[in-house]
Amino acid sequence: MNKIETPVIQREENFWRRLSFKIDIRAYTMVFALIGIWIIFTIFTGGKFLTPRNLSNLSRQMSITAVLAIGMVMVIVATHIDLSVGSVLGLTGGLAAILQVWYRVPTVWAILAALALGTILGIWHGYWVAYHNVPAFIVTLSGLMAYRGMLLGAAKGLTIAPMEPDFKIISSGYLNGIPGIVLTVVVIGAIIIGRFRSRATKIKYGFEVRSFTLELLITLFYCGLIALATYVLYQYEGIPYPVILVLFLTAVFSFITNNTKFGRQVYAMGGNVEAARLSGINVRRRTVMIFLLSGLLASIAGVITTARLNAATITAGQGAELDAVASCVIGGTSLLGGIGSIPGAILGALVMASLDNGMSMMNTEAFWQQIIKGFVLLFAVWVDFKTKKK
């Protein structure tokens, strides 16, 4: 009996292994889920969801969670967690508003002060985690509570507004005309060059690669999506500035995590921190740097939020840390560490923002929104584990 069953099982396993390699099932699962979400909301909103104006609003809404998720990926990959990013977002955005509205500080200096504060808070978290072995969960949970209190005290419980026009444009501005088209061409060119250079490098070192035809089709698919997105956004006002910022940060941090010594060491720490330490990696220094970057990115999100609202509020960023973690997990980042990607987290942020945007358009009550998002997160983790198993 075993002689008959074993070859069948082996053939089935080989089939799934080959299929997973060719089309990367786990990576594209959430793409298909996102398409399904958009189709459902388009039906239930009478086609309003996919209008250029709403997609433009959706992209700006997504950018805040995306910036937080970029920093959160590195933290989770290193087997830590940062629960403070929502409060850091609120506090740094509040600082920028206080400096500009109450003390008439120019926009550039107000933004730099906010970024500096976020960086300092990130170093503070990393110091306690790395040098005193306090669990990141506790360190950042304390930050979540403390920074929210600091914001409440500094703002005196008030909404601080309005911001200067050159501050508001950070979130409300658009790139259109020839510059926007040039940016799109540059992005498409970078994708083509990056993918085929990566393929050539793999071939050089003897790694298995997809066929040239399949690689070309996948690359054209990505380029087509970018061209289509640009076309749709141009039907409204153009490419929102926050989207450009997200693209820039995605490119920078994707390069850092994939092509630098620091990035390789972060993944090594997530795989086995003791092995990483014994191999000569300065785990403490890398841990501080990871939290520094998370704090810096949270402060960038704080500036974008203040610009978008044209005000600083004491509730800004509440729950944002949960959306950031959910975006990473939905995008394929493992909570066990060692696995995750920046583009995956951006896709997860788009899924989360689509749920918020679509349910708001349907006038779904707030409690239902939380329930649905919770089950979507659970389903995403389940799918991730099932596809990994296969």
pLDDT tens digits for 96-115?
999 999 999 999 999 999 99
What number is the average pLDDT over the span 135-150? 95
Lowest mean pLDDT among 32-46, 92-106, 209-223: 209-223
Summarised one tens digit per residue, pLDDT across range 235-260 is: 998 899 999 999 999 999 988 988 88
Place of tokens 């793409």: 31
Mean pLDDT of the chain: 87
Residue, of 19 and 204, whose pLDDT is higher: 204
Closest CA to 294 of 244, 335, 328: 328
| pLDDT above 90: percentage of residues in the chain | 49
pLDDT of residue 203: 85
> In the predicted model, is pLDDT for residue 14 greater than 80?
no
Is it the case that residue 85 has pLDDT exceeding 50? yes
Tell me the per-residue pLDDT of 299-347, one tens digit each, with 9 for 90 and over: 999 999 999 999 999 999 898 998 999 899 888 888 888 888 898 899 9
- Both tokens of residue 262? 């620091």
CATH classification code of 34-176+237-389: 1.10.3470
Which band of pLDDT confidence, cut at 50, 70 and 90, is reported for residue 121?
very high
Q: Quickly count: other Cβ atoms within 10 Å of residue 122's Cβ.
A: 29
How far apart CA 137 and CA 237 sit, in angstroms, is 42
| pLDDT reported for residue 368 | 86
pLDDT (mean) for 219-243: 90
SS3 326: helix
The predicted pLDDT at position 23 comes to 45
Question: Comparing C-alpha atoms, which of 176, 129, 150, 64 is closest to residue 292?
Answer: 129
Whether 286 has a pLDDT exceeding 90, the answer reads yes
C-alpha angle with apex 65: 61 to 67, nearest 5 degrees?
A: 110
Q: What is the pLDDT of residue 388?
A: 59
Q: What is the pLDDT of residues 201-217, one digit of tens each?
A: 878 878 777 788 888 88
* CB 114, CB 93: distance < 8 Å: yes
Residue 219 has a pLDDT of: 86
Contact 303, 242 (CB under 8 A): no
Helix (H, G, I), strand (E, B) or coil at 337: coil
Q: Answer yes or no: are the C-beta atoms of 187 and 226 closer than 8 Å.
A: yes
Measured distance CA(265)–CA(258) in Å, rounded: 10
Q: What residue type is assigned to position 148 of the chain?
A: R
Tokens linked to 317: 């960023």
Rounded to an integer, the average pLDDT of 351-365 is 89
CA distance 263 to 13: 32
* pLDDT value of residue 21: 45
Q: Which residue has the tokens 């709403």?
A: 54
Phi-psi region of 174 (alpha: psi -120 to 50; beta: other; left: phi over 0): beta
